[in-house]
Structure 1
Amino acid sequence: MTTVDKEKYKCLLPLMASGNEEEEKDYKGPTPGELLEPLFKQSSCSYRIESYWTYEVCHGKHIRQYHEEKETGQKINIQEYYLGNMIMKNPLSEPDQEEKENSKDGAKEIPTKNIEGQMTPYYPVELGNGTPCSLRQNLPRSSTVMYICHPEAKHEILSVAEVTTCEYEVVILTPLLCNHPKYRFRASPVNDIFCQSLPGSPLKPHNLEQLEKQQEMLKMPFRRVKEEEMPSTKEEKFSSIHKPVAVGSHQLLTVGTTHISKLTDEQLIKEFLSGSYCFHGGVGWWKYEFCYGKYVHQYHEDKESGKTSVVVGTWSKEEHIEWSRKNAARTFYLREDGTQTVRMVSHFYGNGDVCDLTDKPRQVTVKLKCKESDSPHAVTIYMLEPHSCQYILGVESPVICKILDTADEYGLLSVPS
């Protein structure tokens, strides 16, 4: 190879390994449908809570989109649509048969979806016969559920999207598919190219040395983070694709998963509920600070101009109780044995900084949700702005799972006894 400055190098291109292709070719295990069968047999459901809608995917049965409103007199009004129902008795029988037939003929092309720039294989399950759609001459709504391999997932709903009018795509992360080599996530391989300078040429091209010097000068100093604050590699990989989705006109401001302090659970719960331990989250320009029973702040830190902070909402127990009389402060989950457990609590924080667009104080509804994770001290925080200067702050963590059942009628939490 010769550079623009006539410098000459001999470069060796790496050989591309074909181990994965051999593994896929030799695979004789269960089909993807057979791998997913336990999920369908146990009749489990996955949920995704958005700013207005909640999505319920009962695997092998239906997909439901609903919103609950608590009216005066304790009556709950439910607005709901079925985005698809499973028509077949055995939802995996036909795909299974197709998979087996294709495996005899040779390699079947696996469908893929672009997930954050990476073409990811998925296994589709079709659901039809949903709620009639008035925009399509009352034809039934339908959905494609795309199951994607993720080793650390627990069948979470990654996204729900309306691809055409009343036709939807739902992406589910599941570890069950990861036993099939064709459905495993594979990052694009990065291979080094080794170059050796020929007589009369420098060890490195002149332009490359200049570029490396410029990059070194542009490096910004960064704050040293304690090892206990650093997210694990697995958590980073998962949080990068596990993001809440903004629906309709609701604007998703930011989302991020971090690790909180490794105090004992009892210490952490006490400090969190007293407001002395605050959760921080957010990526990009704005970050968020949430102190339970105190306030929600939005802030940006800059080396030159310092810290810019906006009060999104402040806590008033009286205001929250008044708000909870008109809104559901607790969201329940019905267990198979017929008992109820609290799945999420919502708290109102008003009297924030005055908004230029509305000339009214900012306000935020904080939704505290239980989220199981392999890392017991992980917290995911995201901010939505469904209306100008009216926000929803989602806070999800395993820590919250331990205190939701203490919620009183107003959704207020206390230290478990």
Structure 2
Amino acid sequence: MIVETEERVKLKTPDELLEVLKGSCFVRQEGWWSYELCYQNKIRQFHVEDEKEKAVQEFILGVYDEEATAAFNQNLSDISTLKDHRSKDASQRYHAHQYTNGTICDLTNEPRETEVRFVCSEPRAMISSVIELSTCKYALTVQSPMLCKHPLFQEERPVWHTINCNLLPKDYKEAKPDEVETEDEQIFMVSDVESSNYDSDE
């Protein structure tokens, strides 16, 4: 007797899918500032002079914090809901990494920190937005095509229903409303006076 066994392929975690980004850095310019994310390393905010091409102002927005990242994803699960006002879709799923212990903020006297949000998006990996959630606390969104391989990051497909149609027999005749047979029913109306007399007889 031959028993066929189904080989189960272990689903890769979001972090395993993102491993291809190791050693990569991404830069986005927004007005005066440029932002550089080096995967699982650090995030810089800097301004470069055109002539010298040297950073004349620079802040570290956070250094990758493995423990904080693990704790965050354990509490909220690997998938969270991103509500980024710059996103075309108001509700996108993302996988988050935490970057902490950045340059001290002058306004709060606390280190700057950033949440990096990896979302499923084609065609290439890039920083799509940087927002300041509160004073010196940032959210940086990264388009990550490799996450699209994970089923939890894929768009929900519409549900299709099959409708079977059958021909009606030639002698089929749809009954008209006035042809529907109804049973004769007698309706008795009892007035309040008759009802009270009936009660007194009892």
TM-score relative to the length of structure 1: 0.33
**Which amino acid letter does the alignment assign opposite residue 112 of structure 1?**
T
Q: Per the alignment, in what secondary structure is the counterpart of residue 36 of structure 1?
A: helix
Q: Residue 43 of structure 2 aligns with which residue?
A: 63
d(CA) in 1 for partners of 2:126, 2:88: 17
Out of 169, 174, 180, the position equivalent to 2:144 is 174
Is this contact kept in 2: 1:120–1:185, CA < 8 A?
no
Q: List structure 1 segments (4+ residues) > 3 angstroms apart after TM superposition.
A: 74-77, 189-192
Q: Which has the larger radius of gyration?
A: 2
Say if 2:54 is the partner of 1:83: no
Say if 2:87 is the partner of 1:111: no
For the structure 1 residues 116 and 86, does the alpha-carbon distance in structure 2 shift closer, same or farther, using more than 3 Å as the test?
same
For the structure 1 residues 180 and 128, does the alpha-carbon distance in structure 2 shift closer, same or farther, using more than 3 Å as the test?
same
Is this contact kept in 2: 1:65–1:80, CA < 8 A?
yes
RMSD value over aligned CA atoms?
3.4
Render the CA deviation track for 1:381-401: whole Å, top value 9, x for unaligned: xxxxxxxxxxxxxxxxxxxxx
Q: Residue 145 of structure 1 aligns with which residue?
A: 116
For the structure 1 residues 124 and 76, does the alpha-carbon distance in structure 2 shift closer, same or farther, using more than 3 Å as the test?
closer
Q: CA deviation at 1:185?
A: 3.3
Q: Residue 18 of structure 2 aligns with which residue?
A: 36
Say if 2:98 is the partner of 1:122: no
Structure 1 stretches lacking a partner, 5+ long: 1-25, 103-107, 201-417
Is this contact kept in 2: 1:121–1:185, CA < 8 A?
no
**Which amino acid letter does the alignment assign opposite residue 36 of structure 1?**
L
Is this contact kept in 2: 1:44–1:59, CA < 8 A?
yes
Is this contact kept in 2: 1:70–1:77, CA < 8 A?
no
Is this contact kept in 2: 1:46–1:156, CA < 8 A?
yes
Q: Per the alignment, in what secondary structure is the counterpart of residue 107 of structure 2?
A: helix
Is this contact kept in 1: 2:65–2:98, CA < 8 A?
no
TM-score relative to the length of structure 2: 0.64
Aligned length: 154
Q: CA deviation at 1:30?
A: 1.1
**Which amino acid letter does the alignment assign opposite residue 113 of structure 1?**
L
Question: Greater share of strand residues, 1 or 2?
Answer: 1
Q: CA deviation at 1:151?
A: 3.6
Q: Residue 261 of structure 1 aligns with which residue?
A: none
Structure 2 stretches lacking a partner, 5+ long: 1-7, 164-175, 178-202
**Which amino acid letter does the alignment assign opposite residue 91 of structure 2?**
M
d(CA) in 2 for partners of 1:27, 1:184: 18
d(CA) in 2 for partners of 1:158, 1:56: 12
